Structure formats: C-alpha cells, structure tokens
Amino acid sequence: MPEKYKYVIAGNLDDAWLNFDLNLPLDVMPDGRPNPFYVDRPGNPIAPLERGLTRPYHEPPKYFLSGHRGCGKSTELRRVAANPKILESFWPVHFTIQEVADINDLDFVDVLVAMAAQIFTQYHDPK
C-alpha cells in the first residue's frame, strides 16, 4: 500500500472523508484480524472462493473477480490472501497496475508483462 494513504480514526468530518478514498483497500491487520473499517456482508460472496481454494484439486482453480471501482474487490482478496490455509498452497503477489503501467494505453501484453515482472521482483526481493 502506498505510504501516502493511511486510514485514521476520524475526529471530525474532514478526517472521516479521507477514509473514503477508493484507492485505499482495507489491509488485514498484522495479527490477522480484519481491518477495523471492514464490514462483513451477509452471504459473503468470497466464502465460496475461500472454500474452493482450500479444497484438493487436480488442476488449479481459476476465478474471475469483477465489480465497479470501490466495491471491495481488493479488500476481499487481501483477506483471502491472509488466510493461513490458503497460504499453505498459494503465494500472493500484490500490486496495482496503475503503479507499473500507463492505464490510458494498456493492452493484455502490458498486463501480462507487469504481472511477470511483479512475480519476479517480489520473489527475489520479498518485503
């Protein structure tokens, strides 16, 4: 997560407004607890994803997550990536395409190269 973004407990309306930045996914707390701003939704659509990723399989599962900006895709994926059972089988690589490519002139090759570069970089220089 970029250093310029940080959630703070608001003492006034201006501070509260800063917490609504759509570029700021809710990270899981270092001890594994959900972010204090996270709201668990009834019928959580991510539960089937977690179950599918922890089941045995012959071929690795493939999932497609979509939704409008700010609906919680990155937040939910960060929660999935913090699940110890999932970490036994998967190695999450977090990055934002906006940080590594020009999103105004983007095609599938740019996305694939950015993904490969991030996998290589994060494997050789884990933070």
Cα-Cα-Cα-Cα dihedral of 79, 80, 82, 85, to 10°? 150
**Residue 61, C-beta contacts closer than 8 angstroms, at least 6 positions apart:** 52, 53
Domain map (residue ranges) of the chain: 1-92, 93-127
Residues 63 and 66: their CA atoms lie apart, in Å, by 10
Q: What is the DSSP letter of 116?
A: H
Q: Which of 40, 32, 27 is nearest to 86 (CA)?
A: 32
Question: What pTM was computed for the model?
Answer: 0.69
Could you read off the pLDDT of 100-124 as tens digits, one per residue? 888 898 999 999 999 999 999 988 8
39-89 pLDDT, tens digit per residue, is 887 887 788 888 889 988 888 788 888 888 878 888 888 888 888 999 898
Q: Are 81 and 89 in contact (CB under 8 A)?
A: no
